[in-house]
A and B are shown apart, each in its own frame.
Chain A
Amino acid sequence: QKEVEQDPGPLSVPEGAIVSLNCTYSNSAFQYFMWYRQYSRKGPELLMYTYSSGNKEDGRFTAQVDKSSKYISLFIRDSQPSDSATYLCAMSAIDNAGNMLTFGGGTRLMVKP
Chain B
Amino acid sequence: DSGVTQTPKHLITATGQRVTLRCSPRSGDLSVYWYQQSLDQGLQFLIQYYNGEERAKGNILERFSAQQFPDLHSELNLSSLELGDSALYFCASSDSDPISGANVLTFGAGSRLTVL
Contact = CB atoms under 8 A, between A and B. Distances in A.
Interface residues of B, number: 24
Interface in A86-112: 88, 92, 94, 97-106
B110 interface: yes
- What interface size band does chain A fall in? 20 to 34
Contacts, number: 62
Main secondary structure of the interface of B (DSSP, over half): loop
Interface in B56-95: 56, 58, 90, 92
B41 to A, nearest CB: 8
A43 B108 contact: yes
A46 B114 CA distance: 27
Nearest to B99: A98
Contacts of B104: 34, 46, 49
Interface string B38-66: 00001101001000000110100000000
Interface of A: 32, 34, 36, 41-46, 49, 51, 88, 92, 94, 97-106
Interface of B: 2, 4, 42-43, 45, 48, 55-56, 58, 90, 92, 98-99, 101-110, 112
